[in-house]
Amino acid sequence: MQREPQSFDRVLSSMCSEPHPLAREAAERFLATNPGDPGTYPTVTALEEEALATLGEIAGLENPSGYIASGGTEANVQAVRIARNRAETRTPNVVMPESAHFSFQKAAGVLGVDLRIVPTDERFRADLEAVRASVDADTALVVGVAGSTEYGRVDPIPALGEIARDAGAMLHVDAAWGGFVLPFSGDEWHFGHAAVDTMAIDPHKMGQAAVPAGGLLARSDDLLDELAVDTPYLESTSQATLTGTRSGAGVASAVAAMDELWPDGYREQYRRSQENAEWLAAELEQRDYDVVEPTLPLVAAEISGSTFEALREEGWRISRTARDELRVVCMPHVTREMLASFLEDLDRLERGASVPVASDG
């Protein structure tokens, strides 16, 4: 019996979305290619160069170094790996805010570095004093988040860059989710705004490319060289990626999405998503829920655990913050109609009613 993938019509939890039609078409065409083997698959290797150039343009970096990774986790692990390999200490540490993604825990365990987690301020951004107090001569990397997973917050990247530079450490910016909305939000987040060394920026999140299309950017080739291993039996001579065989579908899909949408299509999507987030936040506040202001298209609000579970029973794909708040990510597939229908279910469940109410109710 043939299984079908879930539809996206009740998915509010994912940081991935439905790929743009052109991105899907490109992914399907390049399904049988492997950019990990450039000698055999030259076309997709050329496409990866195009993808990298556009990512650099988006992130304020001329002549970017980097590659299309499996996702933000690989990009974050690789950034920690670069910093660890360059550090002159045998006991390197990484300083990051508690708002950073759990993939840094994975990176620390895999790479054997000490993770120093500092608190965030009342606006859920890295507490600069705490970061200053945590860096020392063994600090290899300072991590800044540009669009945090829980609240969509952007850390003060320029200030983090100064702290890192003063400590002789590198600065990595995790813009895996935020990278395709931040060009339009007025935030300071990229290589052009601060002393950023590496960045995670994922076409397969807000970039509307198909999975797997993450992005690792590095300020210069010598940083990427820290990752290179020799590659016998391939016509290429070295490989800097964490994986070996890679998906050409993701690469081709990223190029197709960015060619079509950068910059106007992404600007328009940012506007739609941000307006949806602000509308949902206002509706929830009207209902007296505690809401975390959506500075990017991501809404968090306090609802009871029982209501959360009941909404999941209704088929809504929702997730929680560490403080058990409801978390709704306003991805491209999330429409105003979806959010209205979600609110209807929420209202009905909170009233304990067993029948749906009319949409004007």
Closest to a copy of itself by CB, 100 vs 194, is 100
Residue from 205, 298, 149 nearest 19 by CA: 205
Q: Is 4 in the site for a copy of itself (CB under 8 A)?
A: yes
User: Segment 198-227, which members bind a copy of itself (CB under 8 A)?
Assistant: 202, 204, 210-212, 214
Number of residues that bind a copy of itself (CB under 8 A): 81
Q: Is 41 in the site for a copy of itself (CB under 8 A)?
A: yes
DSSP secondary structure letter of residue 113:
-
Residues with Cβ within 8 Å of 67's Cβ and at least 6 positions away in sequence, in order, are 35, 48, 52, 215, 216, 224, 240, 241
The piece of 60-68, 71-79, 116-124, 339-347 that touches a copy of itself (CB under 8 A) is: 71-79
Q: Is 74 in the site for a copy of itself (CB under 8 A)?
A: yes
* Site track 242-281 with a copy of itself (rule: CB under 8 A), x = hit: xxxxxxxxx-x-----------------------------
Q: How far is the CB of 142 from a copy of itself (least distance, A)?
A: 21
> CA-based Rg of the chain, rounded to a whole angstrom?
21
Residues with Cβ within 8 Å of 29's Cβ and at least 6 positions away in sequence, in order, are 252
Residue from 81, 87, 143 nearest 112 by CA: 81
Q: Is 179 in the site for a copy of itself (CB under 8 A)?
A: no
Q: Is 112 in the site for a copy of itself (CB under 8 A)?
A: yes
Q: What Å distances lie between residue 114 and 106, 169, 246, CA to CA?
A: 12, 14, 30
Structure tokens at 332: 């491209």
Tokens 């669009």 label which residue?
147
Q: How far is the CB of 125 from a copy of itself (least distance, A)?
A: 18
Q: How far is the CB of 60 from a copy of itself (least distance, A)?
A: 25
Q: How far is the CB of 75 from a copy of itself (least distance, A)?
A: 10
